[in-house]
Chains A and B, each alone.
Chain A
Amino acid sequence: MQRVFARSVLDAARTVPDGVTSHTGPRPKRRFDVYRNNVYVSLIDVLAGRYPVILRLVGDDFFRAAARCFVEACPPRSPVLMEYGDGFAAFLEEFEPARPLPYLSDVARLEWAWNRAYHAADRQPLSADDLAPIAAEDVPRLVFELLPSVSVVSSPYPVFSIWSTNISDVEVEPIDLASGGEDALVVRPHLEVEVRRLPHGAVGFVSALAEGACLAAACERAMAESPEFDLQTNIAGLIASGAISGYRLPGGTEI
């Protein structure tokens, strides 16, 4: 019974299941439609709350139509809805009506990273003082532990600028799409999720650190991506962002 009921709820083209009835007649479509509407509207609302910049960029009608297609294609697999909508960026990339806005999926990735950071495990960030005791000769071998909330989003579009003006400004700033790509760091050092623009090369650097590479190896990867990569600035930036929760020296100190 529930198989047929669930299929009919998800697909409005199906008829009301046999055995469903009411005092005004059997197989009551308008009554059954309440369930259909509840399911779709509530899930579209979840996505609208999770992707406020996408909503602002495309407008309510477009967003709700796109979100409905997403819900049809990828309904939730868990009752924990804070985890729902991970695939929306990939969906937008393939969504034909969104083709004229090729930056949408990267903005969606940034918004997903924000949601992920909001609910990630809490960890106290290190300050510059915590790192002061490290001997200079040990620095290249240092392995940093990043906060569980850290993500990086890399884009050939000005994804940080688009997100930033749409999330906070009453009147959005005009953005030149030809101004080049931007990368963003998302982290929640305390209660507030923070999104910062990363300098060139930093994506490779932070990604390498996140994978457990030592500082020297991470630096090498960053230099390969961007010759002007500056290690001092980037480490200082990461500490200031509150993105580092600990460090260790292989075979030695751990904090």
Chain B
Amino acid sequence: MSVPPEQHDDPIPARAGVGLKPEHYADILDGAPDVGWFEVHAENYMGEGGPPHHYLTAIRSRYPLSVHGVGLSIGSDGPLDRAHLARLAAVCDRYRPGLVSEHLAWSTHDGTYLNDLLPVPYDDETLRRVAEHVDEVQSTLGRQMLLENPSTYVQFESSDLSEIEFLTELVKRTGCGLLLDVNNVFVSATNHAYDARAYLDAFPVEHVGEIHLGGHAEDRDDGDARLLIDAHGSAVADPVWDLYAHAIARTGEMPTLIERDNDVPPWPVLEDEARRAERVMRARGSNRVSAR
């Protein structure tokens, strides 16, 4: 399907943004920090009223906003939850985000919501189904969406495409964009013993509209191999910063989100990480930009 180009009055700039947490509402409104934009999880703003809408409305009037869905279960083997898609559309109508994104994952089965981003096999059947769901989301929202590469802990014997092939074909079929989560690349590459840089070199960067940076935790698997967990509860790790520099050299300057969902630190900690991302972006992304 064809997707209308982005025509939003408040686009997300090629700067660092921060995931918005209720703990920081007051810091942001009182301190007016110089960050490029904020991102919210759509599901946290699906209530009828109250402080979440009050504060987000105030923050949205001062900053560009990106809406990131975590519960649409686009990778479900059943139909999309239309009621939930309608709620997502309502959040977008209300807050006019510059970008809207979701995950290549599933989280609902038979009406039960599992509150985790569960993996899909990379095969033709899954590709067909996910493409249908992305089409449905984009036609309902009337705009392009970005789909995020997942962090995974297991693989499927039935997968006969690589993740890159799967995402590339999905973009071709639906016209969606991609959200490149660099921490997820590092987590999945470590967990499945492949080269994260080679993955980034093969990634269809011309379709990337946003980058995510977050923290991970570390464990060991059944065979005592490293097992990284996408926990979003700590600072961005050094190897992920290195990979980010590698990615940004390919994508050019790109909206980059600092994500912290658990053990949320005081606001200045996240603002520092956002500044660091912008330094990397300015230092490494300029080659690509000047080459345009």
Contacts and interface: CB of A to CB of B under 8 A. Distances in A.
Contacts of B157: 19-21, 26
Interface string B85-104: 00100000000000000000
A245 to B, nearest CB: 12
Given A32-B153, A34-B229, A24 B223 contact: yes
Question: Which of B48, B77, B111, B222: most chain A Cβ within 10 A?
Answer: B222
B194 to A, nearest CB: 9
26 contacts: A6-B118, A9-B114, A9-B116, A22-B223, A24-B223, A25-B222, A28-B154, A30-B220, A30-B227, A31-B227, A34-B219, A35-B118, A39-B115, A39-B116, A43-B115, A75-B114, A76-B112, A77-B113, A79-B107, A79-B108, A79-B115, A119-B48, A120-B48, A122-B49, A148-B49, A191-B50
Interface string A78-111: 1111100000000000000000000000000000
B109 A6 contact: yes
A121 B113 contact: no
Interface in B15-74: 43-44, 46-54, 70-73
B54 A82 contact: no
A253 interface: no
Nearest to A117: B50
A81 B154 CA distance: 26
B122 interface: no
A27 to B, nearest CB: 9
A161 B116 CA distance: 37
Contacts of A76: 112-113, 115
Nearest to B224: A24
Contacts of A31: 153-154, 191, 221-222, 227
B48 A75 contact: no
Contacts of B111: 77
Contacts of B113: 75-79, 81
A118 B50 contact: yes
B3 to A, nearest CB: 24
Interface in B221-260: 221-223, 225, 227, 229
A118 B81 CA distance: 25
Interface in A179-216: 188, 191
A25 B224 CA distance: 11
A43 B116 CA distance: 10
A232 interface: no
Q: Which 7 pairs show the lowest CB-CB distances between chains A and B?
A: A79-B71, A24-B223, A119-B47, A122-B49, A6-B109, A121-B48, A76-B113
B272 to A, nearest CB: 26
B84 interface: yes
Which residue of A2, A25, A82, A148 has the most chain B CB atoms within 10 A of its CB atom? Answer: A2
A77 B87 CA distance: 15
A42 B262 CA distance: 10
A178 to B, nearest CB: 37
Contacts of B290: none
Contacts of A121: 48-49
A35 B109 CA distance: 14
B203 interface: no
With most chain A CB atoms within 10 A of its CB, the pick from B78, B157, B193 is B157
Contacts of A42: 115-116
Interface in B147-161: 153-158
B46 A82 contact: yes
A133 to B, nearest CB: 28
A137 B23 CA distance: 50
Contacts of A118: 47, 50-51
A229 B48 CA distance: 34
B209 interface: no
A20 B46 CA distance: 34
B121 interface: yes
A191 B154 contact: no
B189 to A, nearest CB: 11
Given A6-B110, A82-B44, A1 B115 contact: no
A1 B77 contact: yes
Given A19-B156, A121-B48, A38 B116 contact: yes
A248 interface: no
A69 interface: no
Given A25-B223, A28-B221, A81-B115, A20 B47 contact: no
A174 B53 CA distance: 38
Contacts of A223: none
Nearest to B70: A79
A14 interface: no
